[in-house]
Structure 1
Amino acid sequence: MIDPDDPPLVQVEKQAKIIDALIRRASRQKDVGPSAYRAFQSAIDLQQKVAAQTIELESARSERERTRKTLAEALASMEEGLALFSDGALNICNDLFIGLLPDVSDRIVPGLTLEQYFQLMAGSKYLVSTDRKLSKFSRALESRQAAGAVVSVIVEVPRDRWYQLSAQRTSHENTVLLLTEITALVRHNRREKEHLIDRQSDYLQAVFQNMTAGVCTFSAAGEVRMHNGRFRDILGVPLAMVQPGTPLQDLLDFMRTRGLIDDAALARKDAWRAELARKGALTARVSHGVDRVLDVQINALPDDGFIVELKDVTLETRSTEILENRVAERTAELTRANASLTKQYEEKARVEEELRVAKERAEAAVSSKTRFLAAASHDLLQPINAAKLLISSLQETTRETRFRPLVERLQGAFSSAEYLLHSLLDISRLESADPDTVTVTDVSLEGLMRGVRADQALVAAQKDVRLDVVPCSLVVRSDPVYLLRSIQNLVVNAIQYTDPGGRVLLGCRRRGARVALEVWDTGIGISAKDQLRIFDEFTRAENVPIGSGVGLGLSVVDRACRLLDHDLTVRSKPGTGSVFSIEMDVVDRTLANPVPFGPVEDTFDGALDCIALVIENDADVLYGATQWLELRGASVLPARSTAEALTHVADLGMPPDIILADYQLDGTDTGVQATQDIRAATESHVPAILITADRSESVRRRGMLNDMSVLTKPAELSRLLPLIDWKLRSARSDADTDKSRR
């Protein structure tokens, strides 16, 4: 029956009604029963609780009134005006806040909105000024909704009193306005500003008086206002002539009568005033007295007056004149020197032109020589190859005759000519700047070193020099052709300059990621002076006997090593011997793919029982190769073209045992194409050897792609014979393997 959420007064009224109803009911009954008694007892308890709550309510009301009175007293005791707006309406404020503007104080009452308060302020006659419009202040306060946001405005009221009105939202519903008097602060700042202005005026006066330039200001009427001491000193006029109020014309007349200013300057006075009015500033240099020069700078002032600045530039002018005279004299000297230099330059240009022409002729000659040697290498090597084959055949046929010594001397002379020709062609190729000159690839040192031993063992034995080779299984990055040529040249030199009974050693030393290939000898040695020039063309050491070569071998080695980025060094002592070293980068054998070298030693001592197809377009080379092979037991089918070779194969009715082909045949015909056609016609993979004067990487790769061993002309016959035997045995082994599989 009683809602506990109702206000206490409502609950009391309901309880009184319930008690009255219970009392009336009890009086109508004759006997008071237990239920009626319990109801009456409950009513009594309820009335006691209501009385207790009523007392608490009265106590709360009294406490709230005391708190409000305390808050009002606290606000009244504050030295700052304060007002609290709740939900946009004035809740409470102190007297200082109300009394700021007396003409509107009676309308500042609880319930007044913020907007209404700002409107009252704006319309008050006691509001002298604000640093911002109150409408902007109100909008700024509305735009800052977050609690703690503060907006302030400076307010000026009569009798030079100043306040700072600050507004801060303490919560979403409450806004506090705080009035803080800042009159003392404003007046203090004003005094400080006036003091600074006074001090600044003193500073400016001090600076003005101590300027190195003379300065004087004039009014719009042309009368002196103020000047510094330097102005009077520069002009040389008495103090009375620059007193304030002195007309400019009087000053000019005084200076004219004393000869301090010329008539021309006076005549330009009106023109200066017109130019000053038009441009606002002007500058002029004038004579002053007999021997002085002044710079005059005039600038217009805002009140139509002007300021004149004088600088004494007499010394500067005299220095400039002296410098100009010196410059003129120096210019004359330089003109004469230039004429002399021009003549010398013309003479030098004539000499340089003659040198240029001579250089071009020399370069053309060298280029022509280089191109000739590079282009003619094939034609030069062809007869050398033919002669080599024929001399080898002649050695075989005269072995047991009286002509053997003669043939051996012919072989020696021919070997010297071949070595010289190889050196010349190597230098030509290394100078040609052809990117295909050297081809860096993986090279196994073991094959090269064994090949050098096979080539030079007979030469060393004939001279009674012990040649030892310690093979090395390392793989390096180099060009196989030029590395082999370099090693051969070093070994040939070592044998040549080692006396009979001496020793030559070829071996390697591992140095971390590099290896040094070294050639040791017990020869005549090289002096320190000669070690600096032995790698030049046509240069030999002083202790070399006459007729020991023309000095090209080491030059070829040096050029090849520089192109291959190998380190070439020499250590030597006269009478003891020499050590030449070529240092190269080592390649991991597990990752290397070294160029195949084939057999290197002539261990074959039987007859070549085979049918050899020789394809060569040079008649002399073809004849020499045919004779050389037939003397060694081979049946030879000579052919000068692919078509002729195919005819021989067709007549034979079976594939040849081996093909020896030159790469460059007539026209576009090549030995590679001939080998491909013969293999296709016979349906047999005939073993083949490509013998060519072309040492380019492209030809070598083309031969390898077609399973053709590649030899360069003139072919080393000591290597050709075992290579033929090795190719034949490999082919037979492959054929036997195929038969066994079938």
Structure 2
Amino acid sequence: MKPLLLDPADDLGQQNAKLRRIAEVLIARVEREIGESGPGYVNFQMAAALEEQVRARTKDLDDTLKMLSIANARLNVARQEAEQARNDLFDAIEAVQEGFALFDPQDVLIMCNTRFSAQMPDVAPRLGPGLKFVDYVRMVARSRHLQMDDDATRDEWARQRLLDHRNPQAVFVVGLTDDRWIQVSAHRSPSQGTAVVQTDVTDMVRREREERDRLLDDQARLLRATLDHITQGVAIFDERQRLAGCNQRLRRMLSLPMQMTQAGVDSLSMFGYMRHGERFAPLEGLDELVAWTNAAGRREPLSLALRRGDGAILDVFCQEMPDRGFVISFTDMTAEREAVAAMHHANETLEQRVAERTRELEAARDEAERANASKSRFVASGSHDLLQPLNAAKLFLSSLSHTKLDPDQRAIAERIQSAFESVETILGALLDISNLDIGAARAELTSMPIAPLLRSIDQEFQPLARERGLTLRVIPSSAWVESDPAYLRRILQNLVVNALRYTRHGKVLVGARRRGDKLRIEICDTGPGIPPDRWAEIFHEFVRLDTSPGTPQGMGLGLAIVERACALLDHALELESEPGRGTRFTVSVPMCEGSASFGEPAHDAERRPPPLDDMIVVLIENDDEVRAAMVSVLEDWGTSPLESRDLAGAEALVADVGVAPDVVIADYLLDGDENGLDAIARMRARNGNVPAVIVSADRSTELRARAAQANVTLLHKPLELHRLQAVLQWVKNAAAQKRG
């Protein structure tokens, strides 16, 4: 390998110097060789060519040095411009009226202005580039200037703030001490950094509070508290599609700024903000929601699902109100949907187990969706206390009406009184629906005669029937049924009111038929009837088929309560109707197994039954005070009681009298190992199949089944004396018929 004349490691200056030196030596050598011989001319030619190459390399070197100089100059200019831009950026964010901070994709603070967290003097001095976001959140959570809710801890606040940070956009309000408030808006940049803007909204919050305090009465404030404590996000819009109110959970679920949740905001503006930044996908769900709100006619209830940008799934339910306003609720169903997905994934190895768990989950989901739909329409978790202030207001209005008012003032007072009565009615109905849907209602099934209930229905609604110009006929029945007296009464009341309201002429008939082991209670009317395609619709809330003038206007809640109460009691509800001819509702109630032996006597013209003279009643009760009180009652009724604290004493008394008793009344729990059912069995073994009654505070199905199997009437404590008197009267009448 030939040695190189130039070392590649040398820079261009060194190489140029070497080339110049080589050229000089070669030129000198050529000159000498020209003088000595001919070949020197050839070498001279080579030297000349080499010099030309040196000149070219030298020119390239000069050009390169010039370009490098220009590049260095441009780099210095760019560096100065970048520094100026950075200074301009600092000046710009410092001039911003809001607090501003920028975190990089690793959640490390890049920059912030002096207004950022300035409301927290114990946090602001510790802010600076390099601070991690999690450390910033912990400092804020520990700040003495952070106002905490009564039911939240600082650690819980920090956890929730870190959870919100995962969302691409988050908007929420933070309370500070001294009644100050800031709105925090966090937005994820395309480079996955995070910009946080803090806006002082103290004046806005205070104005909103003052406005709310001026307009809202005690009932509305309680309604607001209820909305803020339910698990759904709720928004209520008026007939002009303007926001009437919403709760804090809605703002957090939808990441809405305060200006989007102020009263009077148009629904389309809110939906448009939800579209911004692709917060929700797919957009078809929002399109369907907008189309529903803009529908010209009556809006049917709408259910749909929206997916947030962070993957959370929100179930949306929309319900129209009677005044064309509407309520929209948002329920976070992410956990339920993730559980369903996990169940399907586990199905590969645990198919049978997962199938069972999936059915349970679907049943729980269906029940939750049904309850959530009712709550989202109008504050499902309201309390009975809502009715108390309304009642007080009605009393004040009643007092006002007895003062000296001019005709205009009296008309206004009457309108206010009517409005309060309407609110009281709808709140009571909504509370019933809420309790039935969310499982708060509990049925107390018991054996009961149907006659007193039918009699009270007759007496209660005859005035309304006469006012409407209708004939109300209630046919008495002697059957006994197993139901909850309060809920069964409410079912029949709503059905009768509904029949009287929509029947313009003719009659309403209430009666009962025995069909196997069921008593079918029927309410028939000669009203306009219901088209078959709307049978299911009438059981929805706020549905009224006949809104023509002259028809008394209800809220459309009666049949919704009837359907839910029948489902709670497991009573079958049937509907038969023919347009133009009338409607019949039927409620099937189980009859008591002992109703063939102990029935309710037919309704007498006298409200008070005749005395029970000459009846021999054996009373077995181990509590002395209770036994003495029962003896006093039985004697007042005209019976001859034989009292004892145990079975042995009762048998001795019957043996002394020498006559079998007409009826045995026994407490279930006696002294020692004795119980009332065993005592009755032994009394019957000695005296024949004597009618008997068990009195107990035990409401279990087991005791009810044992009493029915023994053909013994079961009455619960505290004892309703009119029911015991009805049983004794039936026993006396049955004995008289047997002798006759």
TM-score, with length taken from structure 1: 0.29
Scaled by the length of structure 2, what TM-score is found? Answer: 0.29
Structure showing greater relative contact order (alpha-carbon pairs closer than 8 Å, 6 or more residues apart): 1
